[in-house]
Amino acid sequence: MHYILFYDVRPDYVEKRGQFRDLHLKHARAAYERSELLLGGALADPVDGAMLVFRGDSPAAAEAFTQSDPYVTNGLVTQWRVRKWNSVIGDGATVS
């Protein structure tokens, strides 16, 4: 199954993220190497959030990711939520 982690971020996120970006990307790469995280990135125009796509049997990996994500722990993320995604087209789609 797929789960999408949505982040809402502070209005000054772009200005503040630099000091935490390397740690955040290291955290994301580790989740990717564990085959939990498939894709992730900031939304654009405006940069007011981010989406990360996770794979797993439950939303646990996505939820656990937030607990030690430097963007969350340092207050750049104002709110987050995880939604199950019924992917039906493409490599790795989970619903036929």
pLDDT at 94 (0 to 100): 84
Position 28 in a domain: yes
Please give the residue that has the higher pLDDT: either 31 or 94. Answer: 31
The whole model's pTM is what?
A: 0.92
Long-range contacts of 55-61 (CB under 8 A, 24+ apart): 55/1, 55/2, 55/3, 55/92, 56/1, 56/3, 57/1, 58/1, 59/3, 59/84, 61/3, 61/31, 61/34, 61/36, 61/37
Q: State the total domains in the chain.
A: 1
Place of tokens 């794979």: 55
Q: pLDDT tens, 11-45?
A: 999 999 999 999 999 999 999 999 999 999 999 99
Residue 3 · residue 84 · CB < 8 Å: yes
* Residue-number span of the structural domain to which 39 is assigned: 2-85
Residue 2 · residue 91 · CB < 8 Å: no
Report residue 54's pLDDT band, with 50, 70 and 90 as the boundaries: very high
Position 95 in a domain: no
DSSP conformational letter for 62: H
Residue 48: which CATH number? Answer: 3.30.70.1060
CA neighbours within 13 Å on the CB side: how many for 47?
12
pLDDT surpasses 90 at 92:
no
Q: What's the rounded Cα separation, in Å, for the pair 24 and 7?
A: 13
Q: pLDDT tens, 58-89?
A: 999 999 999 999 999 999 999 999 999 999 99
